[in-house]
Amino acid sequence: MTTETTSKSKAPPTVVPETEVFPADRRRPRMTGRVAFVTGGTRGIGAAITRSFAEQGAIVAAGYGRDTEHANELVAQLREHGVEASIHQGNVGSAEDCRRTVEEVLDQHGRLDILVNNAGITIDKTVLKMSDEDWYKVIAVNLSGAFFMSQSVLPHMIERGTGRIINISSIIGKIGNIGQANYAASKSGLFGLTKTLAREACFQLKKADKLSDDSIGITVNTVAPGFIATEMLEHVPEKVLDRIRSQIPMGRLGRPDEIARVVHFLASDYSSFITGAVFDVNGGQDM
């Protein structure tokens, strides 16, 4: 955002750091009263999505794995600015934890309108060096977690006749990458999961006689980011980052807020006729 003086000269741009919590008076309450649960919602892309929903007036529930201190800081910042927010600790790779955290959100907030399956991990090794555990752990968190979270929330959404599920995949799920067979497989698997869940959600709504001409229904979509400037790239050598940038037509890494904007659109009523779709946000890298 930039500001302009009344004279012909312009004031220097006012840059709001991505990690800064928005002032309360900047909130645009377009999702007032809706509850959004973001897994992995306290760091990187997940934190940007959480803040975006909060800015729109939503009640936010952020899932996290181990960093309790950081999660507490985020929720405290949001509450300072009048946002109703909660945090929920669990291992997304555990079906039991997925069901428990969904129940926690429903118990605490009374409803769940939006689920963003964002939590993900990497354990990078070439195929010949990858252990059984390396494979299963990444698949469990990145793919099975999205399935169990969605399975847990769908009955509530079907009962209410409305809901949004948004999966966060990756460009790696489309193009592959050396040393990331487990990650690529898990992120590619989200494409098939998304399309199947989208069809089943419509089928179940029709079965329950909850589809109508003016219904916003239940939609399930995927966002596939390219290389985004988050903590996951902090330890990547600059030479490698330069090579990545050279492969992106726009010549730069993406920003977490650029993913959050697409997620916000898919979570809104404006996307009511979009389901089973994959949105690429990668600076043109896979053209």
* CA distance linking residue 225 with residue 118, whole number of Å: 11
DSSP strand pairing (114-117 vs 218-225): unpaired
- Write the Ramachandran bin of 176: left for phi over 0, alpha for psi from -120 to 50, otherwise beta: left
* CA distance linking residue 99 with residue 148, whole number of Å: 7
* CA distance linking residue 138 with residue 120, whole number of Å: 8
Structure tokens at 159: 């009962």
Beta carbons within 8 Å of 153's beta carbon, 6+ residues apart: 37, 102, 112, 115, 163, 165
Query: Which residue in the list 64, 136, 183, 270 is annotated as catalytic?
Result: 183
Structure tokens at 195: 């399309």
**Residue 183 is among the residues annotated as catalytic for this protein:** yes
52 three-class SS: helix
Beta carbons within 8 Å of 96's beta carbon, 6+ residues apart: none
If one counts every other C-beta atom within 10 angstroms of the C-beta of residue 166, the result is 26
Which residue, 225, 230, 235, is CA-closest to 285?
225
Task: Give, as one character, the DSSP assignment of residue 213.
Answer: T
114 three-class SS: strand
Could you list the active site residues? Answer: 183
